[in-house]
Amino acid sequence: MLTTLNTAYTDTRAADLAWALGLEPLPALATLDIEFSDAKLQLRLLGASHQVLLEEERGGCSETVACIAGSSTPLPLGVAKRMGDWDYEFAARVETLSHGSFAGRAQELLALVADHPNGLAGVFPGSPHAFTAMLAQRHEGQVHWRTWHAYPQEGQLVATRTRVGVRVSAPLQCLPSHS
């Protein structure tokens, strides 16, 4: 789903983004509810930032990437956490692109997400390349989502990917006996 966000473009620098787990739902400009066989996911656009709410029978999870007032947690390159029965993995990268490359990548990502049943993208008024996009899927009992936050004035694209799933126990390994 592609929408135009009726708001000023306020998160204006990739460096201002922060990451948080467990925040309450924040006011959203657009949402997409997705129901998987045993999980509910809500993708939320918060301006040039995002929030994902996941609910399964074992509990819930909230991920926020935004300019968070008072936050001292900058956007990490990677996080791996155990949360009860779940494993949570998050990764982020910032790409700096030339003006022409940025425009092409923006169009490619918006086309990918706009027609996807589990995709949500919001474009800001005044710049067709200022957007936030999200795409989710469920695969082998795990929920995955990817996000893109575009900052055309800096030529920067922040890409994140997250995986949440039930913790998998390591298989027992037999050691050879020495007789």
Give me the tens of pLDDT residue by residue for the chain, a chain 179 residues long. Answer: 877 777 665 556 788 888 989 899 999 999 999 999 888 999 999 876 899 999 987 778 899 998 877 666 678 889 999 877 788 999 999 999 998 899 999 999 999 999 899 999 998 887 778 899 999 999 888 899 999 999 998 899 999 999 998 765 544 333 444 44
Triad 43, 49, 54: Cα angle to 5°: 30
pTM: 0.86
Integer distance in angstroms from the first to the last C-alpha of the chain? 65
CA 50 to chain centre: 7
